[in-house]
Structure 1
Amino acid sequence: MKSSIFKGLFLLLVGFQSAQAQEIDETYNSKIREFTTDPRFLPQSVLNVEKHPEIPSPLEHFGEIIGAPKIMHSTAEIYEYYKILADKSPFLSIRQVETSEEGRPIFLVIIGDEDSNQRLDHYQSQMNKLADPRITDAAQAKDIIADTKPFYYLNGGMHSTEMGSPEMLMELAYRMVSSSDPAIVNIRENLILLINPVSEPDGRDKQVDWYHRYTKEISEWENDFPKSPPYWGKYVFHDNNRDGLQVSQAITKGIFKIFFDWHPIVMLDLHESVPLLYISTGTGPYNEQVDPITIGEWQIMANSDIASLAAQGMPGAFTWAFYDGWWPGYGIWVANNHNSNGRFYETFGNAGANTYLRDLSKQSYAGDPATTREWYRPDPPTEKVYWSARNNVNYMQAGVLASLTYAAHNGEQLLKNFYQKGVNSIQKGKSESPKAFIIPSGQKDPVMAAYLVNQLRAQRIEVHQATEGENEGDYVVLLDQPYRNLAVNLLTEQNYPKDAKFPPYDDIAWTLGYLYGVKVEKTDSLVYESNQLKLLNEDAKYTGKTVGNGNGYFLNYQAQNTVLPALYWMKEQNKNFEALILEEEFIVGNDTLAKGSIYFEGINSSLAKSLNENYGLDLIRGSEKPQSDQGHKMNLPRIAIYHTWFNTQDEGWSRYTFEQRGIPYTSIDKDDLKNGNLRANFDVILVPRSRGNASTFIHGVTTEFGPIAYTKTEEYSSHGFPDSSEDITGGPGFMGMDNLKKFAEDGGMIITLDNSTAMVAETGITRKLSPYSASGLFHPGSVVTVKAKNSSSPLLYGYPEIFSIFRGNGPLYQVDLKNRDMMVLQYGTKGLKDETPYDGPIMGMPDKKKEETKEQESTEKSPPYVRSGMVRNEQNIIGHGTLFNVPVGKGRIIAFTFDPLHRYLNHHDAPLVWNALINWDDMD
């Protein structure tokens, strides 16, 4: 292995030097030198760009080289260049793999020699065979590997302000198809390169327009002018790299399609954030379900890349000290989760093509300054660097070329590793516990059970269904399959070590059964006969049924996610449609309906069937009609979702959730709050989580540089979507806050999620909530236990007394003891100390005779606070409020101290919001 590494490194360097004998494009190379600010930032491997007689270089096509000052290209310009390369070169082809939410294409570029392109289907088929050792034994795998070229996947343009990779990849593609350099020829002959040049095209175009509209002329990095437009994608901002479990956005669907179509042995995602080049391995703890082979590949490939850059005299390359390696939902983890190798770079970007003096003195990673010499950073940068876009291109491209060289020389070993990881997974499924997971029928929300099955299938995890017998309808995940490790990862609890030296990089728990509210059982023995289990080849769907007799239709409410959408749909079908929300248990035949259940007035069998089929709802027919005093009439609210202009991340997830569920809403912003008259237009205003504090919420984007328009114009056509403003600076101000308070006082409901609760609690909209600081509490995203404080509250309809929710680090609030009835839900199962009745002596009153009382032992042991994940000093949150119902005038505030709409993941928590909406005008 060592000899292969050094041979590859030697060829990389000597090969690039030998290219001096080729026809070099001296103009292009002189410009590379001109735009590179320091000779130490100029690796030999990116020089010697050749001039091809037929294929236009970026300089010939665009009139300037890649990385030139103040030059950034839109997706249309980028795609046009790749299409020209495809037309001029037999080594490159391009095909569309996905369409973005705003209608832009997502393309895949494929590069290889003539043999690779002529036998592309063959090599694709070979990788499919290696991906499943059940159909390919060891002897067959050996023959396949001998006749296979591995695919290597480069992903660019995920985060829109990280603008360098879509630029660099064009130059790399030109180099790969035009160069006669032996090092490049070696890569081209021994690898097939897959390039996703702009994985988030909507955000790319918004960012390029923003750069040309506003930031192109900024000369100092520390300038506070926003370097990003308020939106990237239609829904998701930076979290587009946190969608790998949901697979909800087009960017993720495109990445998944590329991976599963081609099974690349390595996926390298190109990011920009830290100086000067970070090559991922991570500090740990590493995800426990990652095959050790992959972890070994992370290390050896990172150190190979660092050695290559060091050999070219480049400072500032490092590994280990950034990121951890735990969360499996990043884009690159489609590779790590499926027996491949997911890696990423972080180069030093300037959010554009300006050259800035950058101060690194205050940056540190894993406790060490970014400029100190460490075992993982043998050649650190100076505390200040004069940094250009070309420097960024140089570092990124030199790293990629080093990595491609390693893969080209070690392709056989990487293919063996890929196959062996599948073998290991199957063997574990046969020999280790559990042997299978069962998702039993009879779930409280069977639609979510089907959704869980479909999410597993989206990850290519095989799911069977029992087709007969007493357990008919059960879903079964047999673990003797190639992606066994991922199935275990998704369906079991996470145990993040409490003593981890460094804080986690992201959420630390993702147990899907908890997040979806679906019961999942582990088993080592199956009660099914083999002929009773059928492999699902299409998505699962639950179709509800109607049982019983009578003219009335009832729904037994169990916090099903589709109930509120169904109610809005029914109202759309018939404006006179009415329903009664039952406030007490109600008996229909042999069924006892829970509080919150619904009596549908005047619907017919056709509509009932639609509720069964389209919303997966089970209905009960009965002849006895509830009395009006047994419930309250449904009055569906007019909903607004508020967004700030300084942070649209979680508001985007909320909009996405509402649209996926089919819940109508209106998007509003600071100007709507300032204009007032809110109650005339809305009944409920949802304020999603938004970073910052109450002051940030009130004052918004700094007005120092205003006005800043985010509007669609002929020149900046990507702007103005999904919302527009003539001036995004400033916030609602005190007038807007007063209008929001008046909205509640006039009978409206304000729902605040997570730290948006600060907006109502710390601005005087309510004085009942006060901030609480839990000493030493560290609460990264985990699944934890909560308990009903007010079991009769409509907010808790459909939930048991004790259940779980997903919570990350966020603010806590409390109410005085006299207002403790406003606390609907609490963390943990034990109450606060001030709720324990005083039973000591009272001066001035006769001593009470103490009666001997024997505490009744609970028949059930309370579940632990942490169900999946990790919380430090959890005792300091237990008993405090999870959810509050605070009256304000005629209306109220429903205040969450967590986010029940987190990243379209914790679907089990979302019905707490749906309950607020269904019962918004009858919350007492």
Structure 2
Amino acid sequence: MKKHLYFLLIAALIFQMSAKSQTIDRNYVNKIKEFTTDERFLPKSLLDVVDHPTIPNPLKHFGHIIGAEGHVHRSEEIFNYYKKLAETSPMVKIQQMGVSEEGRPFYIVVIADENTISELDYFKNQTALLSDPRITSQEQAEKIVLESKPIYYVSGGMHATEMGSPEMLMELAYRLITSPAQEIKKIRENVITVINPVMEPDGWDKQVDWYYRYTKGRENFEDGFPRSTPYWGKYVFHDNNRDGLQVSQQITKSIFKAFFEFHPTVMLDLHESVPLLYISTGTGPYNDYVDPITQSEWQVMGNHDVSAVAAQGMPGAFTWAFYDGWWPGYGIWVANNHNSNGRFYETYGNAGADTYLRDLSTARFAGDLATSKEWYRPDPATPQVYWSFRNNINYTQVGVIASLSYAADNAQLLLSNFYKKAYNSLEKGRKEGPKAFTIAKEQRDPAMAAYLANQLVSQGIEVYENESHYVALTEQPYRNLLVSLMTPTAYPKDAKFPPYDAIAWTLPNLYGVEVKAKDSLDFNVSGLKALDYPVKYLGKVIGQGNTYLLTYKAQNSVLPALYAFKSQNRNTELSILPKTIVVDGDTLPAGSILIKKINADQATKIALDFGLDLKAGGSEISTSDQKSIQLPRVAIYHTWYNTQDEGWSRYTFEERGIPYTSIDKDVLKSGNLRSKFDVILLPRVRGNAKNFIHGVDKKFGPMPYTKTAQFPSHGFPASTNDMTGGPGFLGIENLRKFVEEGGLLITLDNTSSIIAEMGIASELSPVSAGSLFHPGSIVMAKARKSGSPILYGFPESFNLFRGNGPLLQTDKFNRDLMLVQYGFQPLKDEVPYEGPILGLKEKELTAKAEKKDEKNPPYVVSGMVRNEQEIVGHGAVFNVPLGKGSILAFTFDPLHRYLNHHDAPMVWNALINWDKLR
């Protein structure tokens, strides 16, 4: 140990001696000036890059400066630079935080003065103590605050086309460990800076290859050429910043791992979308469960950073007018949800390292022109700017340094606030209701009850169990998040600006799990056992034999279990019971499954693996009371211009263990679809029928998306020799033939509108509802044809999740095509007429029928809908026959972001019964 400290001391002395003798790297500084397009975009504070004798700056390492025209770096090159810094400086530590879906590492880089880095575990333990007031008293916290340092987490590269931050962070890291400037020295000594250099390396490498393959050197930014690679991560695209509730993607898991290891006081996420630098506070309304201290910190830090940028004469920095502050599912909201402070920047980016003349003249945020002088934007940019990659680097770096400087100057305040927020949450649990949430283990879908418990644990929430329930007590530091996740939201109807994303996230409703909020603890708390491992519902098998019954209640795991049965034993026979039936005294609802020709061991394995209860019996059920199940060959379609939601669909199918084939435009054009597939799923996709038919403009073709030695990240998760064009009219006609020949086409959300527009589902027409405003909310729906196989396992009324999707309807004579409607009231043309009828004699009524004053539940369960009368009564799900097949059209997305698991069984029902919907 003494020897280790000795070498650390020697290294520190050598570093200090070299630091005193270092000079400015004039070549680097001149290059910064060369690539910055205007003196007002050139902060003097960045013109002091040193020429360190032993630590290489980016120019020495790469041969060009950060922000040089035409240069970006792949993730391995970026990580290698940080490894070089760690080798040559005692102030840098790099550690791996996981592995991406494609096998690339996630890293974080920790920077502070030498003494702090040598005692990093001590400082991490200090912030962990501050995170839990149950183990740290207020008196102890005051002492810890004096002895601790704020941990400031800065991340870049979440969205692949936002290419400035991963490059900038390398220069910032070098500056933090070498600069002699007093402000930087203060940051080194008083703040622990944690850098996530490339949050999403899979997408980043694809985008870097895309830039070098296609967009480098293009003359006009607005030429219509796609600036983004078609895929980022293996599954999700831009929604990798919408996974904070699901924690399903590896990027999110790495962020959560870093948070719970370091308990950072502030987390700052760097993005690019608006001119010239937006510093988040949001217009509101703010999330009800974010502590007022955090909301106030947003304002103080936002204004501090804007003023720091303005102090260097740089125009275009603003706050307030972008984003709201409501939805808790962003990656960086792991901080806001856990008593820390989550913030973000948006700079102006060119999706690469080229310089363009950009037009800001029509851009508006919160109703104001982006070039207008406002209280929140004291120095606006001109309507046009000549914008370079280096300009972007300058703005982001100046802002981040300003924010780190604020943390250095206000270290004790930030740490004290961090503790105080946890204390406030704990006190609310002690003094306010509810006192606990209980989740019965016996549910309609008990596997989802266990899933809910696990999801809470993944959020750092403490969950317990006894024999019958999972229990979350609210007297804990993350009480606010627990209550937020488990209770309905109420977004203000009079909010001045539209929400930035979905506005409802009540997990029990999204999962279809019954939860009770307890205002008093009427059970034995001492008998609870803490969950420190993922729990799983283990299905039971009653009896023995070679025939078993599965009582169907729309459990999510039934369809994958059926595939597993056939995989284990190809001779297994599967049948569905289309009507309610009583067998051995048990009432089996419609949709229940009869499994024949399996042994007890196979039944037990499936029950355990999939959380399903099986009972031996059913051999006496007549053939007329059952229909054979033919498990379908499923295809999931993807375009080459928008892969967001098909990625979520693929992820959902793979997580559930449902086999599928991914297909694109070329498969549709090749025809003979019915010989290859039984079901084709069209996930939600942006745009209209024109976009769907024609795809990426052919004038840009051919555009291969193939893996090559030069572009090794391309060609995954799909490959093509030419991305341009779509299925064309031939492909659309082949899709029609597929249905006519007996296939099932399932369309989700916007693709339902598209197939109606293309005439494949000609019975469906768009509904004009201009005053309807329906951001992502949980609402009530009513079964119109409860006997449909699509609704097996669902009650007469149930909730579903719907956003601002299309609204479709049929003519009145075709209303039997509507399986589910929104809300409970009928459409106006379905209300019976009760007035006089000319030409008919008035009949004498002996007894006037009594009108029932039925009170239906409210339409909105969680969230908010304006002018809901525009949607109530309209169709949520349609079953449209075509030839020998059917089109199942959803006007919402039942596979939304791997969140609304309660809605997904309607899709699984469709796959189980794909050939029985006529």
Tell me the secondary structure at the aligned position of residue 525 of structure 1.
coil
* Counterpart in the other structure of 1:723: 718
Kept in 2, the 8 Å contact 1:355–1:388? The answer is yes
Return the match for 2:894 from 897, 900, 913: 900
* Counterpart in the other structure of 1:223: 223
| In structure 1, C-alpha distance between the alignment counterparts of 2:766 and 2:307, rounded to whole Å | 51
Q: How does 1:393-408 map to 2 (within 5 A)?
A: 393-408=393-408
Matched, 1:786 2:781: yes
Once the two structures are TM-superposed, the CA of residue 46 in structure 1 deviates from its matched residue by 1.4
Tell me the secondary structure at the aligned position of residue 456 of structure 2.
helix
Kept in 2, the 8 Å contact 1:588–1:624? The answer is no
Matched, 1:873 2:884: no
Q: How does 1:361-760 map to 2 (within 5 A)?
A: 361-466=361-466, 472-547=467-542, 552-622=547-617, 625-760=620-755
Once the two structures are TM-superposed, the CA of residue 759 in structure 1 deviates from its matched residue by 2.4
Kept in 2, the 8 Å contact 1:551–1:623? The answer is no
* Counterpart in the other structure of 1:863: 857
Return the match for 1:834 from 829, 832, 837: 829
Tell me the secondary structure at the aligned position of residue 245 of structure 1.
coil
Amino acid at match of 2:856: S
Tell me the secondary structure at the aligned position of residue 386 of structure 1.
strand
> What do residues 221-278 of structure 1 show as CA deviations (whole Å, max 9, x unaligned)?
1111100010000000000000000001111111111111000100000000101000
* Counterpart in the other structure of 2:326: 326
Q: Indicate the larger mover: 187-196 or 761-770.
A: 761-770
Tell me the secondary structure at the aligned position of residue 553 of structure 1.
strand
Amino acid at match of 1:493: P
Once the two structures are TM-superposed, the CA of residue 843 in structure 1 deviates from its matched residue by 3.9
* Counterpart in the other structure of 1:357: 357
| In structure 1, C-alpha distance between the alignment counterparts of 2:911 and 2:228, rounded to whole Å | 34
Q: How does 1:768-847 map to 2 (within 5 A)?
A: 768-847=763-842
Once the two structures are TM-superposed, the CA of residue 589 in structure 1 deviates from its matched residue by 2.7
> What do residues 595-621 of structure 1 show as CA deviations (whole Å, max 9, x unaligned)?
100111122211111122100001122
Once the two structures are TM-superposed, the CA of residue 840 in structure 1 deviates from its matched residue by 4.1
Amino acid at match of 1:612: A
Kept in 1, the 8 Å contact 2:634–2:679? The answer is yes
| In structure 2, C-alpha distance between the alignment counterparts of 1:441 and 1:216, rounded to whole Å | 56
How many positions carry a matched residue from both structures?
900
| In structure 2, C-alpha distance between the alignment counterparts of 1:297 and 1:588, rounded to whole Å | 63
Q: Indicate the larger mover: 444-453 or 548-557.
A: 548-557
Amino acid at match of 1:870: M
Once the two structures are TM-superposed, the CA of residue 623 in structure 1 deviates from its matched residue by 5.2
1:251–1:307: structure 2 CA closer, same or farther, 3 Å change rule?
Answer: same
Once the two structures are TM-superposed, the CA of residue 21 in structure 1 deviates from its matched residue by 9.8
Q: Indicate the larger mover: 580-589 or 367-376.
A: 580-589
| In structure 2, C-alpha distance between the alignment counterparts of 1:109 and 1:631, rounded to whole Å | 61
| In structure 1, C-alpha distance between the alignment counterparts of 2:405 and 2:845, rounded to whole Å | 82
Amino acid at match of 1:652: G
Matched, 1:912 2:906: yes
Q: Indicate the larger mover: 421-430 or 834-843.
A: 834-843
Once the two structures are TM-superposed, the CA of residue 622 in structure 1 deviates from its matched residue by 2.6
Kept in 2, the 8 Å contact 1:91–1:114? The answer is yes
Q: How does 1:39-438 map to 2 (within 5 A)?
A: 39-438=39-438
> What do residues 299-331 of structure 1 show as CA deviations (whole Å, max 9, x unaligned)?
101111111111111110000000000000001
Kept in 2, the 8 Å contact 1:509–1:782? The answer is yes
Q: Indicate the larger mover: 548-557 or 101-110.
A: 548-557
Kept in 2, the 8 Å contact 1:642–1:669? The answer is yes
Amino acid at match of 1:787: K
Tell me the secondary structure at the aligned position of residue 493 of structure 1.
coil
Amino acid at match of 1:152: Y
| In structure 2, C-alpha distance between the alignment counterparts of 1:26 and 1:499, rounded to whole Å | 56
Kept in 2, the 8 Å contact 1:552–1:625? The answer is no
> What do residues 794-847 of structure 1 show as CA deviations (whole Å, max 9, x unaligned)?
000000000000000011111111111110000001111222333444444443
| In structure 1, C-alpha distance between the alignment counterparts of 2:83 and 2:375, rounded to whole Å | 44
Once the two structures are TM-superposed, the CA of residue 497 in structure 1 deviates from its matched residue by 0.4
Q: Indicate the larger mover: 693-702 or 895-904.
A: 693-702
Amino acid at match of 1:340: S
Kept in 1, the 8 Å contact 2:545–2:599? The answer is no
> What do residues 74-109 of structure 1 show as CA deviations (whole Å, max 9, x unaligned)?
001101111111111111011111101011111111
Identity %: 63
| In structure 1, C-alpha distance between the alignment counterparts of 2:619 and 2:646, rounded to whole Å | 43
RMSD of the TM alignment (CA)?
Answer: 1.4
Amino acid at match of 2:615: I
* Counterpart in the other structure of 2:15: none
Amino acid at match of 2:904: A
* Counterpart in the other structure of 1:7: none
| In structure 2, C-alpha distance between the alignment counterparts of 1:435 and 1:761, rounded to whole Å | 50
Kept in 1, the 8 Å contact 2:22–2:52? The answer is no
Kept in 2, the 8 Å contact 1:155–1:197? The answer is yes
Amino acid at match of 2:206: K
* Counterpart in the other structure of 1:37: 37
Tell me the secondary structure at the aligned position of residue 787 of structure 1.
strand
Kept in 1, the 8 Å contact 2:772–2:865? The answer is yes
Once the two structures are TM-superposed, the CA of residue 852 in structure 1 deviates from its matched residue by 3.2
| In structure 2, C-alpha distance between the alignment counterparts of 1:841 and 1:653, rounded to whole Å | 54
Give the TM-score of the pair, scaled to structure 2: 0.97
| In structure 2, C-alpha distance between the alignment counterparts of 1:341 and 1:661, rounded to whole Å | 35
Structure 1's unaligned 5+ residue stretches are 1-18, 467-471
| In structure 1, C-alpha distance between the alignment counterparts of 2:577 and 2:812, rounded to whole Å | 30
